[in-house]
Structure 1
């Protein structure tokens, strides 16, 4: 174990009565040597009082202990009163260090057991920390929202063709904005949009043309179809800044409703016209509807034995995994695997190779999905689970609606009171101005309330919805129970209940995103986790 030594004497006069710094240090070194511990630092306070704010070495040590990458696991003292004589300081700092995973150990005294006061304080520190973090997050979000509305950048790398520049606001404040990048990058962006809109060239071909010309991407790598697609759909190129599109609080990323996005027009110089951008969106839609290229909805090939195709994704590049069979001429016959589609098409420069055995992953998914669906259908729990999920996902909106109702009620009541006081002659001269301000605020609150009410809709299920879901569940379970599953109908039914399957390469954990849907409406979602057992290709 790695430790630090903390040594202190109180004052010049008291130092004569107390064990000297060298003597304390020697005792600590001998104690650690016997325990086999390594001393990685020494903090020596010469003639310092027990007040923590008067001990610079102590404060340095505590600051280092609070870091995530601290170099030690314990603080060793000669006696506990060297750490702190005051009981409240001792309890506070010990609780703080416990929370950080750092022990305080005495050479001459038995390590203290945790007292009820320390346990209580530790819990209070956790609650205060949680409140502070939540409040800080709210304030940061508020500041970032205001930033975005004014067209300033909230961090991150600007798109290809732009650069970040800091502008001064006052004596000491600066804000980040996007400005046009090098001329050659601007020309490349315009060329990409022109090729897609007017020449009918697809994402992959545009990427290949750029790679053949030796044009590097923003990070110095090669272009891919997904990079070109991201550019075609990026509203930044018409001077529009869009922020708050995704929710990162959930596991992974989740797209928010467009009504929650912060959109600022003319936030930075445009590279292309809005007409050209809209034409590209029209072309993309036409390609999609007409059997277009990379953004075409995935369809399983007829008679394909790989029934997870279309829902099994690579954890490295988020592309779909595709089926692959080894040669049947081998001694033990062919093997079937799911392999990253990007690796298959472009090679290891774009995504490292890994293959998951078809039989093993399909068995894991089948068993986990079957168990989850059987639990839902047991004792008619489906409707109850759907309602619970709906309440949980909408509770923050419901709380906001309740708060707005109270604020609106208060404003209306106060405005009416002021009007009555004015009519009876008891009102102040400034009441009229206050009423005008309050009416403006009331209008804003009512608009926000209407918007939130529109977002939060009571879940009303048709009578046929639950019956339809149960029918699909029964059919799927029957297909999963077949000794030799029929992959085509199985793929169709599995797609109704699973949005994605991902295996994390490092941890070998299988993540199955299950859902219940009625039409396009998602009624229930759950993440199922399993451990991969077996080898990879």
Structure 2
């Protein structure tokens, strides 16, 4: 079909980002050019399809799919799909070929306003090559954009995604004509966040702490909103786990295309103002772990094999990365940690390695004592957690004093309003009186809530991380790691170790500072002999220990 034969046209206009769509940078121009093309070619414009803020690298575009469905239906309403360029329709060569074939079967032609093609085989080849180039260019643009956004995050700026509840963006500076934004606290939303944490830790007045499901229901029943929408289990849980509330947001945490979380070492921390105290946040994390139904007590899940489930075959590429399981010698007298892939699939899966259990247990326990459980080392690892304490408590006391003064002022204001009614200056049904009374009553209720939260935070200040608590933790854990009870010993190892990578010449013990901080926060319960809850989600810095010669 040539341009002269065209009768019915559907125009497809697209921009890649919501920001472009809102600022009308491209769509009106695409539509205007398409209208001129239709007029010049005697075509009838029957429909205009607009896709705002969608990439053409995939076909997950609602308006695009509706258009294709109509074009390939029995009573197709148009003969041509018209775009400003092929890249407006496709930036994936495979999708271009698949959809072009489907449209051809329906006798619908794809036409680009800015790129002229004929109907012969050479034109097909040219269009295919151009679609490959568009895909390549899109990927290159994506690389450059990703690098720029990562650099922006490294400099502490916000990249434009929706801020967490409790925050809003502001323009921090301008560079090269571009606005660089950071996050600041939105006081109204921050109050809701603090209330949510307080209810999870302490519950409503006179009631016990609320679980996530009950918490979402309570917030909805009492009129609290998540930016105009209702709370539900998933967004409550997300708020309770978000480290932004203690001052560190993360960029590059999730691969949106693959739908997976990236390795923690690729996350880029962005400093933001804190809304929740670190001690309260970590107490929340403990309770979230304790309340997970899949988490069972250490004494139930442990065995006498200290490192089973933690050991991995290989270190720095020296090995297959599979788990290591228990193995015995021919007599059954000697026990080893051995590569499970080798045991299951033979040398084709892994050349394999094994190490006597007592040897590896001793190496790990000795390394924890010498390399980790020294107060100087722990102080260095936990420098960012080290108090927040006296200064934070002093700040809370000053804020509490200010709030109590505000409470007195509001209560006096309410009494004056009542006096005005009593003296006949206002009627209790007067809308002005009703508005002022409701406003001051609401402010007073919020101030009282904040006072209760601050008082609880001050009462819990004994949980803060101090050099003294670190020293107590180091001494206590050294003792626990040499306990006679193997299940108890294993539980304490797992509270600070995520995995042990076993190579031919190197053994690496991997753990993380957040879990250390959480374990130190539980030092009081440890002193009472309570076994720590096993943590499954640990990441971290690494300590390397050279393997002794056989």
TM-score w.r.t. the length of structure 1 is 0.36
TM-score w.r.t. the length of structure 2 is 0.36
